[in-house]
Amino acid sequence: MQLTERHVINRDDPRYQVIDDAAFASKNLYNAALYLIRQAYIFEGRYLSYTTTYKLMKSHEAYKALPAKVSQQVLMQLDHDWDSFFKACDAYREDPSKFTGRPKLPKYKHKTEGRNLLVYTLQALKGGQSKKGIRGRIQPSGLPIMVETKQKHIDQVRIVPRKGFYVVEVGAPRHADKDRPRRGQQLGKRCWLPHLTSEGNQWRKAA
């Protein structure tokens, strides 16, 4: 469990625009990687794991638009979204009555209005670090801004897009010796795909 310190960045804050630009770049990467995964899943019946997606995306313009560690977190987020989709598919097959319809594939974020989460692990934070922990202010990698914090030990900083503002969440571990949060994982292929045949829509398992 984490203790979270929150800071609201409104439109009139001088830090807003650089954060907004980074969140837009995060959206671009999310959509570009999602396209690859959806294409493989729909037309080939296979899921691209985080590792495979990373290898395909690491030289992509959208990946390079953000610091590498931040881009990796975007791909991990996408991996998590697909994991949630697969779990929903499992639950649907067990009891369809709990759903209003079949679970849908993760969706693209709006081309111009969409923004995406930014996650900065400890290795992607600069400034104010010492053997005793963080001191006062931190700087997310690639952003020319500083964030004040009262936390001495930090796991990560999340910048969450909201309508008209951003929330900067400084995550501090409740116990300093806790393991770091789970990172991306390779996922199994557990959902049923719509497969068009001459006999109509059928469902087959992605394998």
| Tens digit of each residue's pLDDT (9 = 90 or more) over 129-185 | 555 556 678 899 999 999 888 888 888 999 999 999 999 999 887 654 444 444 444
Query: Could you give the percent of the chain with pLDDT greater than 90?
Result: 69
Chain centroid to CA 39: 19
The pLDDT, as a whole number, for residue 173 is 77
The pLDDT, as a whole number, for residue 137 is 85
Residue 46's alpha-carbon distances to 110, 146, 196, in angstroms, are 25, 42, 16
Q: How many domains does the chain have?
A: 1
The pLDDT, as a whole number, for residue 108 is 98
Mean model confidence pLDDT for the chain: 85
* Residues 28-42: tens digit of each pLDDT: 999 999 999 999 999
* Residues 46-58: tens digit of each pLDDT: 999 999 999 999 9
**Residue 91, amino acid:** A
The pLDDT, as a whole number, for residue 127 is 67
Single pTM value for the model: 0.81
The pLDDT, as a whole number, for residue 13 is 97
The pLDDT, as a whole number, for residue 201 is 34
The pLDDT, as a whole number, for residue 153 is 82
Which residues, other chains included, contact 99 with Cβ-Cβ below 8 Å and sequence gap of 6+?
88, 91, 92
Averaged pLDDT for residues 5-33: 98
What is the span of the domain harbouring residue 54? 2-205
pLDDT band at 95 (very low <50, low <70, confident <90, very high): very high
